[in-house]
Amino acid sequence: MPEVKYHLDTESRVARFVIDTAGPVNSIGQQFMTDMEKATLQAHRDNVRGVIIVSGKKKSFLDGANLREIMTDATPQLIRITLRRFHDCLATLAKSPFPVVAVLDGQTALGGGFELLLWGCDQVLTTADSRMGLPEVSVGLFPAGGGTQVLRRVVGFKTAVDMIINARVSPAETFAQTDLVTICPSAELESRALEWIESHQGIVNHIYDPARVEPDRRSDEENQKIVNQAYFRATICPHRPYLQAAAQSMEAGLKLPLEEALRNDLDLFVSLFESPNTKNKIDFFFLTTSLGPRLVRVDPRKAVNVDSLAVIGAGLMGRGIAQVAAERGIRALLIDVDEAATRAAVEEIDRTLEGLVSKGKWPGSRKDKVMANLEGSTDYGRLREVPLVIECVFEDLPLKQRILARVQDANPDAIFASNTSTLPMDEIAAKSSRPEQVVGMHFFSPVPLMPLLEVIRGPRSSVAAVATAVTVGRAIGKTVILVNDGPGFYTSRTFATYVNNGFSLAERGVLPWDVDFMALQAGFPQGPLNVYGATGGNVIYHAGSFMASRFPERMALPESLKKLYQAGYVGLGKPSFYLDHRNMIRDESVMEHIAPIEGLPAPNQDEVQDILLLGMCNEAFWCMSDGVLPDYYSMDLGAVLGIGFPDCWHGPARYVSLRGVKAVKARLEELADRFRLPGLRPAPEFDRLVACGLDRFLI
């Protein structure tokens, strides 16, 4: 079956290219390019008046390269030939003597699919809820199918750099101000496409039109400043060559003619496949998209049908959970202590979403759907109506137990899911008459943006409770990992280790800001001391104190963390390590509260980065030893998607695999002894692997 089907309307003399490739979404492979070449050639032969490109799939117009096909034979020669062929395919379509219009109806055009719109098409007619972007850097590549060169010709250089470096995928409305994209109702797409073709006979493609002026034109000096900022972002961590390649490609495009810039892109793109970090990123993409959704096996027939749910606690987390549920069509009841609190919470959600609409990040219809499915209340009697209650209050065990009792008094059959980040399910359910109804659903902040949901199976959680939590998590768009019970579960334990080690390094003579910068160089999205202030030192302190009480030998609270908390240096509007944590502007006064440890050498950069990276790996391996984690795939998914382990390394299991189990164990022992860090004592999992003769390829 052809992946681009050609249809000619003999009356209008307009051809339709219908994209329908193998798989759940349309992707670009050798067969697609062959069929696109044939369709374009046939349109030339038929002397058509225009071409309309549509998709045969409901949600996907065209979503980038077929990475499995590329990675099957990722030789430099084949990659170069394939990419050059795609360039030629788009250029031939763009230079055709007839208008080319793409039609999207609530569909996605990503990567090479967006490049097809930007380069090969003269006009894009779409509904407001379609989504477009060049997210290649998120999978370890860059938009080498012409994206770095043609996007700026449509949206301007500054916007193009921002979109590409940050892998932004935006609603179609974002591009409505350009002359390439027109928003119109679904029912009018076909007729408007035909009208556009008839009124634009003889049009010259915008990429090749010498009279066209690039939008938002800036001076060479201004453009170079934008490039330099991109380079700074791209080169902080040397283990992300795809960001560097993207910046180099965009800079070259400012100075070279299109054809030369595209040839330069070939060299940059091919070189990426020599980097293990590119393979890590591509493999992680496969983990999240292919294996991840199947990793947790539950019988959906055992799950309770959830068409409505309640969230107790209307703070930041509770509002986020209610919002994502409402957006996916689940009626969400948001409950708090009084009418004023619930009303304010609903109004805050409305205000936040209106801001996204006004900035063009959301279509108005998306916001309307959320608000239509959202309601606030103080009445626990309303819980009789809902099958799932998600508790989202402060980390206080007696408080959670009291709320559980009230919920089960109102509806003993409801599944009770706690959003706790540290407290074990068995303890929350200890006084419950129906402990089998209790399960953990640990979301991450901000809930609408963070993709992970950690479901915690308590020792008495029923099959139905676990199946319901997993099924609902997937229904609201989260990647789900399933872990067993214990203090801090998996992610909070491992995250606490990262923050604690940051404080420990500051106590051992490394300036706090150097700790954070070295963390960025290692690939972390945020340094551990910046995390403390940005997340809120109150939360970190209380969670850390709880973890220290359960793991006193490995997770003792650093003295400096205690002193900062007692002095009110807790961030979120109060002092911390930074006057402005986003721009990392130092607050030198914090040094008064750092408790230095005498008699130890100051760690160098390699030691700092190993303490941060291997410290997280070690705690993850402790979670394997303790039976909290079921497998290494869940380990890597949870660490990257939930707590910021560097994605360029795939996750703790892959990172240990790359360095070798024996080498990592020896390095942990060396660092633990040299810097008196008991938390770095290797987990028993390392001994188990060594005994089994496993040193690499854990995942």
Range with the poorest average pLDDT among 117-131, 134-148, 202-216, 307-321 = 202-216
In sequence order, the β-bridge partners of residue 16 are 7, 52
Query: Which CATH number do you get for residue 120?
Result: 3.90.226.10
Whether omega before 459 lies within 30 degrees of 0, making that bond cis, reads no
Helix (H) or strand (E) holding 276: helix 276-286
Spatial separation of the C-alpha atoms in residues 415 and 569, rounded to whole Å: 39
Tokens 């449509």: give the residue.
Answer: 154
Taking CA 609 as the corner, what is the angle to CA 614 and CA 226, rounded to the nearest 5 degrees?
Answer: 130
pLDDT value of residue 362: 84
SS3 187: helix
Domain count, the chain: 3
Query: What's the one-letter identity of residue 643?
Result: I
**Does residue 74 belong to any structural domain of this protein?**
yes
**Does residue 292 belong to any structural domain of this protein?**
no
Spatial separation of the C-alpha atoms in residues 172 and 129, rounded to whole Å: 6
Among candidate residues 456, 454, 612, the one with its CA nearest the CA of residue 529: 612
SS (H, E, C) 517-568: HHHHHHCCCCCHHHHHHHHCHHHHHHHHHHHHHHCCCCCCCCHHHHHHHHCC
User: Are residues 221 and 362 part of one domain?
Assistant: no
Query: What's the one-letter identity of residue 494?
Result: T
pLDDT value of residue 72: 87
SS3 52: strand
pLDDT value of residue 523: 96
Q: How many CB atoms lie within 10 A of CB 77?
A: 9
Spatial separation of the C-alpha atoms in residues 298 and 358, rounded to whole Å: 41
Among candidate residues 269, 230, 232, 267, the one with its CA nearest the CA of residue 250: 230
Query: Which CATH number do you get for residue 563?
Result: 1.10.1040.50
Provide CB contacts within 8 A for 615, sequence distance 6+.
497, 498, 501, 677, 679, 680
User: Are residues 146 and 67 part of one domain?
Assistant: yes
Spatial separation of the C-alpha atoms in residues 133 and 141, rounded to whole Å: 14
**Does residue 62 belong to any structural domain of this protein?**
yes
pLDDT value of residue 359: 84
Q: How many CB atoms lie within 10 A of CB 599?
A: 5
Query: What's the one-letter identity of residue 165?
Result: I
Answer yes or no: is pLDDT of 294 > 90. no
Answer yes or no: is pLDDT of 367 > 90. yes
**Does residue 602 belong to any structural domain of this protein?**
yes
In sequence order, the β-bridge partners of residue 453 are 480
Tokens coding 695: 């040193």
Contact call for residues 142 and 249 (beta carbons, < 8 A):
yes
Among candidate residues 630, 501, 513, the one with its CA nearest the CA of residue 581: 513
At 233, is the pLDDT very low, low, confident or very high (cuts 50, 70, 90)? Answer: confident
Among 231, 257, 272, identify where a domain stops: 272
User: Are residues 246 and 177 part of one domain?
Assistant: yes
User: Are residues 394 and 459 part of one domain?
Assistant: yes
Query: Which CATH number do you get for residue 368?
Result: 3.40.50.720
**Does residue 171 belong to any structural domain of this protein?**
yes
Provide CB contacts within 8 A for 607, sequence distance 6+.
671, 674, 675
Tokens 């923050």: give the residue.
Answer: 499
Alpha-carbon distances, residue 105 vs 154, 176, 650 (angstroms): 21, 15, 35
Alpha-carbon distances, residue 542 vs 425, 615, 623 (angstroms): 18, 21, 21
User: Are residues 85 and 167 part of one domain?
Assistant: yes
Q: What average pLDDT does the structure give for the chain?
A: 96
**Does residue 294 belong to any structural domain of this protein?**
no
- What number is the average pLDDT over the span 13-20? 98
Among candidate residues 375, 429, 418, the one with its CA nearest the CA of residue 393: 418
pLDDT value of residue 292: 87
At 74, is the pLDDT very low, low, confident or very high (cuts 50, 70, 90)? Answer: confident
Helix (H) or strand (E) holding 7: strand 4-9
User: Are residues 192 and 56 part of one domain?
Assistant: yes
User: Are residues 600 and 516 part of one domain?
Assistant: yes
User: Are residues 142 and 222 part of one domain?
Assistant: yes
Spatial separation of the C-alpha atoms in residues 468 and 300, rounded to whole Å: 8
User: Are residues 388 and 516 part of one domain?
Assistant: no
Provide CB contacts within 8 A for 316, sequence distance 6+.
445, 446
Helix (H) or strand (E) holding 26: none
Answer yes or no: is pLDDT of 582 > 90. no
Handedness of CA 494, 499, 502, 507 (dihedral sign): negative
Tokens 């996916």: give the residue.
Answer: 328
Residue range 323-357, pLDDT digits in tens? 999 999 999 999 999 999 999 999 999 999 999 98
Residue range 79-134, pLDDT digits in tens? 999 999 999 999 999 999 999 999 999 999 999 999 999 999 999 999 998 999 99
Residue range 155-193, pLDDT digits in tens? 999 999 999 999 999 999 889 989 999 999 999 999 999
User: Are residues 133 and 24 part of one domain?
Assistant: yes
Spatial separation of the C-alpha atoms in residues 111 and 148, rounded to whole Å: 11
Spatial separation of the C-alpha atoms in residues 143 and 593, rounded to whole Å: 47
**Does residue 697 belong to any structural domain of this protein?**
no
Alpha-carbon distances, residue 410 vs 93, 340, 416, 418, 540 (angstroms): 64, 23, 12, 17, 33
Contact call for residues 69 and 30 (beta carbons, < 8 A):
yes
> Where do the DSSP E strands lie in 114-168?
123-126, 131-133
Among 486, 513, 546, identify where a domain stops: 486
**Rg, C-alpha atoms of the chain:** 27
Among 229, 255, 272, identify where a domain stops: 272
User: Are residues 181 and 113 part of one domain?
Assistant: yes
Q: How many CB atoms lie within 10 A of CB 596?
A: 12
At 232, is the pLDDT very low, low, confident or very high (cuts 50, 70, 90)? Answer: confident
User: Are residues 482 and 496 part of one domain?
Assistant: no
Alpha-carbon distances, residue 49 vs 96, 100, 668 (angstroms): 11, 9, 69
Domain limits for position 112:
4-272
Spatial separation of the C-alpha atoms in residues 169 and 362, rounded to whole Å: 11
Tokens 């408790």: give the residue.
Answer: 595
At 228, is the pLDDT very low, low, confident or very high (cuts 50, 70, 90)? Answer: very high
Helix (H) or strand (E) holding 31: helix 30-45
Contact call for residues 473 and 641 (beta carbons, < 8 A):
no
pLDDT value of residue 293: 86
Tokens 């721009």: give the residue.
Answer: 583
**Does residue 653 belong to any structural domain of this protein?**
yes
